[in-house]
Structure 1
Amino acid sequence: MTRPTPEPARPPAVADGAAGERLRTRIAAELDHGRRRSVALTLEALDEDELLAQHSPLMSPLVWDLAHVGNYEEQWLVRAAAGGEALRPDIDVLYDAFENPRAERVSLPLLTPREARDYNARVRARVLDALERARFDSGAPLLDGGFVYHMVIQHEHQHDETMLATHQLRRGRPVLPGLTAPPPRPAPDTRRPAEVLVEAGPFTMGTDDDPWAYDNERPAHTVDLPAFRIDTAAVTNAAHLDFIADGGYDDPRWWSPRGWEWRTRSGKRAPAFWIRDTGGGWLRRRMGRVEPLPPEEPVQHVCYYEAEAHARWAGKRLPTEAEWEKAARHDPATGASRRHPWGDADPAPRHANLGQRLLRPAPAGAFPDGAAPCGALQMLGDVWEWTATDFTGYPGFAAFPYREYSEVFFGGDYKVLRGGSWATHPTAVRATFRNWDHPIRRQIFSGFRCARDADPDEGGRRGGGR
C-alpha cells in the first residue's frame, strides 16, 4: 500500500515561522476532528458485536475501518514522513485494502474495538509529537505544503463516509443522532431555470498548486469544450418517480446494452432503499428509519446505469467529467477556475450540504450562496454525481505518493463521480476532486444531473459534449 513512486511537480513549500505554525495548528485540529467523527460512527454508536459484524459483503466490518485509518496514519505520518519506528508492523497486512477484499475481512484476526482504540491513540500521540518538529519548507516531497498530513486527514474522512454507507446497509435500530430532526426547508426560489448554459471555449481543468489535491487531480491542463446546457440542480426524487411511472425501468429503449443487462439480471425497478407502501406510494429507509420519500430532495442510491437511462428518457445525457468541472468552477468573467463553485473560500454551512450535518440531501435548489458562476446549484454536497467519463489519468499524470491510490484503477470498469455528498467532509472535496466506482454501485450516496448539447444559435460552437 505504501510503495513510493517518483515525485511529480508539487506546490510551493509553505515557509516555516508563523505560516508553518498556522499550518501545524490547522493540521492538529483537522486530525482531531476526523478521529472524533470516526469514534462517533463506531465506538460511540454500536456495541462490540455489531462493530465486529459484517453488515454487507460490499463493506468491511466497522472495526476494520477504525483500525485501518490508524494503520494508514502510522505508515504515512509516523514512518514515512517522520522516519519513526513502526508500532505494529505485524498488522500492516491485515489492514491493507489490496490484500484483503471487503467480503473476506470479517474472517481476519482483527483488533477488537478496544485494541483498535488504544492502537489509534498511541499512533496519534506519535503523530502529534512529530508534527511539532515537522518543517514544511524543507523540500521533503511528502511535507511540502503539508501534503502528507492533508492526505491522511482526507483518508480518514473518506473512510468515515464509507462507514456511513455501512450504517445505511446495516439492519437494526437507528443509532445515529439527528435522524429525527425536521427536514431542511425547501429552497425558497421555485422559479429557477431548469438548465443553465455553459458557453463554448477553453478552461483550466485540474490543479497544480492545491496542497490538498491528490495525484489524479493533477496536472492542470486546458480543455476546450463546445457549448452545452446542464441542469441547474440534481435530478429529484419526484423526477425519478416520473421515470418510474412512465415505465422507465421496463423500457429497454432508455438503457445501454450493459445497463439493460444489469437491470434484467438484478430485477431492480427503483433506487436502493426505496419501499413501495401499501397505498402505492413510496417510502425510503434511511439509517434504520423508514420515512416518507421526500419529493424535493435529489435522488440518491442510484447506479450509473439508472442515471444514464433516466437522462436518455428525459431527452438528455449525463455530463462528461470535463463538462461537470467547467460548470462547477470556470468563471467566464475572469477566465479563472475556482477551487469551489462559489470561490476559493473554504466551505461554510451557507455554501453546501457537507460534513454529515443533515444526514440526508437538502432540497434541490438550496444554497444559493454556493452557486457556480454559470448559475448551477449544489455542485458540491448532497449527492455524488455520476458522469459519463471513465476513470483515467490526466495528460502528464504522475503517481504520488503511491500507485495504489489512483493509477491501479485506471482503465478498469470505473466511472467518475463528482461533487461529494452530504456525507463528505469539507476537507475531502473540492471542484477538482475525482471519485470513481463501478457503474453498478448503489450503496454510495450517488445521484446525478443531466446535460445536453446547446442549441446551434447559443453559446458559441455547437455542443457535442463528448
Structure 2
Amino acid sequence: MMPTATHISLRTRYTQIRQQSEQLCAPLATEDYVVQPITDVSPPKWHLGHTTWFFENFLLVPYLKNYEVFNSKYPFFFNSYYESQGPRVHRSHRGNMTRPSVEDIYQFRTHVDRHLLDLIEQIENSSEAWADEARFTLEIGLQHEQQHQELLVTDIKYILGNNPLFPAYDPSDVDQGHSARPAGWIEVDAGMYQIGHESEGFCWDNELSAHQVYLQDYAIQDRLVTNGEYLEFMLAGGYDNYEYWLAEGWDWVKSLESKSPLYWYAVDGQGWHHYTMQGFRPVDLNLPVTHISYFEADAFARWKGLRLPTEQEWEVACRLTEPQIKGNFLEQQSWHPQGVGETEATQFLGDAWEWTASAYLPYPNYPRFKGALGEYNGKFMINQMVLRGGSVATPQSHMRITYRNFFQTDKRWQFTGIRLAR
C-alpha cells in the first residue's frame, strides 16, 4: 500500500506514483499499448505519454531554468483537452498513431523524471513564491497521474476484453463460492449536514466549498447490488419494459446488442459468463454487479420500487459508517469487486463507483482553479451524473469521501455499480 503524502518525501512519492503507472503496463504486449477500440478508451501508451507531458508542460517548461523539451511535436499528440495549450490530436484518433513508439514514450518518461527530480530538489530548498506555485502544480500532477492509473486499468480491460481470445491481464486464480448477506438498511435522520471537503489535505476544486444541506429522513442500503439481484431484473424482462427507463435510456437500450451489463455473455448450456482481468469466468451471483450505465442503474432501482441516492445522501451515510479510507482499491490488486459475505462491510469505499441521482454541478461558491488548470473540472459541469466511492481501479491514496467522479449517463467501461435508497 502506498503511504500517504504526509508520511513520505515528495521525491519518493513522485517516484512511486510514476513507477506504479509503468507497473500497471508491465503485463502488456507491445501491441496492447496502441489499441483504441472506442473513443472513450485511450491507448495505454497515450496515457503514459500524456501524464508525462503534463509534468513537462506545466512544471519543467515554466519552472526549470534552461530546460529543453524532449520533443517539440509531442504536445500536439499528448495534450488532452486544454484549449489554452494549443491544438491537439482528436481524441478518437489517438489509436491511429503508430509513432511515437512505446520505446520512445518510455524514453520520454525517463527524460522528464530525471529533470523533474532536479526541480523537486529546487522546490524543497526554496522559500520563494514560485516554489509554492510549483509545489501546488506538482501535487495536481501527481493526483492527475493517479486518475490516469485508474483509466489505464479500465482501458486495458476494455482492450483485452474486446479481443476474441479474452486474454487475461492477471492469470492468477480467482476465489469462487462467495456469499452475500441479505441487504439491510442504514437509516439517516432528517437534519442539516455538512457536505464537501474541509480538511487541509488535497482535494479537487469541484469538492469545494464545504456547505450545509438539509436532508429529509432517508435510508440507504448497506451494500452494493449483486450480480444475482441484477440478473433477476434481466430475467423479469427489465430491458424490455419501457416503464422502467428514462426516455434517453430507452432509446439507448434499443441500440444494445446484448441486454446485459458490459462484458456479460450468455454461453449456451453454461449460463452467464463475463470477462474479468483474470480472463473469461462464470458470473459469480454474490459479487457486486459492475460496468453498469446510469440508465441501467436507474431502471433497476425503479424496477425494485426504490431509487438511487443523491450524492449528498451518499456522502452523509458514508461519513456515518465508513469514515476511514479503506476497502478494495487498486493497491489490493484484486482487479474485481469483492463480496461482503457475512461481514459488516458496507462497500461505500472501493469495489465499484456508485451512480447517484445527482447531476454534476458546482457547489455554492465553487472556487475554480486559476489559469490553464481551471479547465480541469469546471468546464465539464454539464450533462453528466456524479459517482461516488472509488473502485478496484482507484488508488487508495488518491481517494477521499468527498471525491466527486462524473460521467455521461451511457458510460459503463469504468467499474460502475449500484446502491439503492428509499
Q: Report the TM-score when normalising by structure 1.
A: 0.80
Distance 2:107 2:301 in 1: 49
Q: Which moved more, 1:51-60 or 1:244-253?
A: 51-60
Amino acid at match of 2:143: Q
Q: Contact conserved, 1:198 with 1:228, CA < 8 A, in 2? A: yes
Aligned mate of 1:129, from 91, 94, 118: 118
Tell me if 1:438 matches 2:408. Answer: yes
Aligned to 1:53: 35
Tell me whether 1:353 sits opposite 2:328 in the alignment: yes
Change (3 A) 1:365 1:416: farther
Q: Identify the residue that residue 112 of structure 1 maps to in structure 2.
A: 101
Shift of 1:129: 1.5
**What aligned pairs does 1:243-282 form with structure 2 within 5 A after superposition?**
243-279=233-269, 281-282=271-272
| TM-superposed deviation, 1:176 | 2.6
Q: Which moved more, 1:251-260 or 1:150-159?
A: 150-159
CA contact (8 A) 2:123 2:135 kept: no
Supply the distance in 2 between the matched residues of 1:27 and 1:204 (Cα, whole angstroms).
Answer: 31
Cα distance in 2 for residues equivalent to 1:248 and 1:175: 31
Cα distance in 2 for partners of 1:389, 1:151 equals 26
Question: 1:366 touches 1:378 (CA, 8 Å); kept in 2?
Answer: no
Runs ≥4 in structure 1, deviation > 6 angstroms?
none
Range that drifts further, 82-91 or 238-247: 82-91
Match of 1:403 in 2: 374
Q: Is 1:96 equivalent to 2:79 in the alignment?
A: yes
Match of 1:391 among 350, 360, 376: 360
2:183–2:223: 8 Å Cα contact kept in structure 1?
Answer: no
In structure 2, relative to structure 1, the CA distance for the partners of 1:366 and 1:144 (3 Å cut) is farther
Which SS does the other structure have where 2:186 is aligned?
Answer: strand
Tell me the amino acid that sits aligned with residue 76 of structure 2. Answer: V
2:374 match: secondary structure:
coil
Aligned-partner Cα distance in 1 for 2:7–2:122:
10
Mapped contact 1:355–1:423 kept (Cα < 8 A):
yes
Deviation at 1:134, TM superposition (A): 1.7
Task: Show the counterpart of 2:84.
Answer: none
Do the aligned residues in 2 keep the contact of 1:232 with 1:365 (CA within 8 Å)? no
Comparing 241-250 with 304-313, which one deviates more in the overlay?
A: 241-250
* Counterparts of residues 35-434 of structure 1 (less than 5 Å): 35-42=18-25, 44-80=26-62, 85-88=67-70, 89-98=72-81, 99-108=88-97, 110-135=99-124, 138=127, 140=129, 143=132, 146-170=135-159, 171=163, 172=165, 174-177=167-170, 179-183=171-175, 186=178, 190=181, 194-279=184-269, 281-287=271-277, 289-330=279-320, 341-343=322-324, 347=325, 351-356=326-331, 357-364=333-340, 368=344, 377-401=346-370, 402-410=373-381, 412-434=382-404
Secondary structure in 2 matching 1:439: coil
TM-score between both structures, scaled by the size of structure 2 = 0.88
- What is the Cα deviation at residue 70 of structure 1? 0.7
Alpha-carbon offset, residue 267 of structure 1:
4.5
Deviations 1:397-425 (A, max 9, x none): 12114222111101x22111111101100
TM superposition shift of 1:109: 6.7
Counterpart of 1:247 in structure 2: which amino acid? G
When residues 39 and 131 of structure 1 are mapped into structure 2, their CA distance, relative to the original with a 3 A threshold, is: same
One-letter amino acid of the structure 2 residue matched with residue 380 of structure 1 = L
Distance 1:212 1:86, change over 3 A: farther
Residue type of the partner of 1:364? V
**Structure 1 residue 280: deviation in Å?**
5.9
Question: Which region of structure 1 is more displaced relative to structure 2, 245-254 or 163-172?
Answer: 163-172
SS across alignment from 1:180: coil
Q: CA deviation at 1:366?
A: 7.5
Amino acid at match of 1:415: M
Quote the offset at 1:426 in angstroms. Answer: 0.9
> CA offsets per residue over residues 327-356 of structure 1, 9 Å max, x none?
11158xxxxxxxxx333xxx4xxx300015
In 1, Cα distance between equivalents of 2:183 and 2:7: 44
1:217 and 1:434 in contact (8 A); partners too = yes
Percent of pairs with identical residues? 29
Distance 1:223 1:84 in 2: 50
Residue deviations 1:65-91 (CA, integer Å, cap 9, x gap): 111111112223323565663524432
Shift of 1:240: 0.2
User: What is the CA–CA distance in structure 1 between the aligned matches of 2:7 and 2:62, rounded to whole Å?
Assistant: 18
Residues 1:28 and 2:2 aligned together? no
Counterpart residue identity of residue 363, structure 1: G
* Contact map agreement 1:56 1:166 (CA 8 A) in 2: no
> What SS class does the counterpart of residue 164 from structure 1 fall into?
helix
- Superposed, 1:448-459 pairs within 5 Å as 448-452=418-422
CA RMSD of aligned residues (A): 2.6
Give the number of aligned pairs. Answer: 404
- Structure 2: distance between partners of 1:133 and 1:253: 62
Q: Displacement of 1:149 after TM fit?
A: 2.9
Contact kept? 1:274, 1:284, Cα under 8 Å: yes
Q: Identify the residue that residue 17 of structure 1 maps to in structure 2.
A: none
Shift in alpha-carbon separation, 1:408–1:83, aligned structure 2, 3 A: farther
Q: Is the 8 A contact 1:391 1:415 kept in 2?
A: yes
* AA of the residue aligned to 2:114: A
Distance 2:205 2:363 in 1: 9
How far is 1:57 from its partner?
3.5
Q: Is the 8 A contact 1:248 1:310 kept in 2?
A: yes
Task: Give the Å deviation of 1:182.
Answer: 3.3
Q: Which position in structure 2 is the counterpart of 1:337?
A: none
CA distance in 2, matches of 1:54, 1:317: 35
Q: CA deviation at 1:38?
A: 1.8
Q: How far apart in 2 are the matches of 1:304 and 1:31?
A: 35
- Specify whether residues 238 and 210 from structure 1 end up closer, same or farther in structure 2 by C-alpha distance, changes over 3 A only: farther
| Mean Cα deviation higher: 226-235 or 143-152 | 143-152
Separation in structure 2 between the aligned mates of residue 382 and residue 117 of structure 1, nearest angstrom: 31
- Structure 1 contact 72–152 (Cα < 8 Å) conserved: yes
Distance 1:104 1:366, change over 3 A: farther
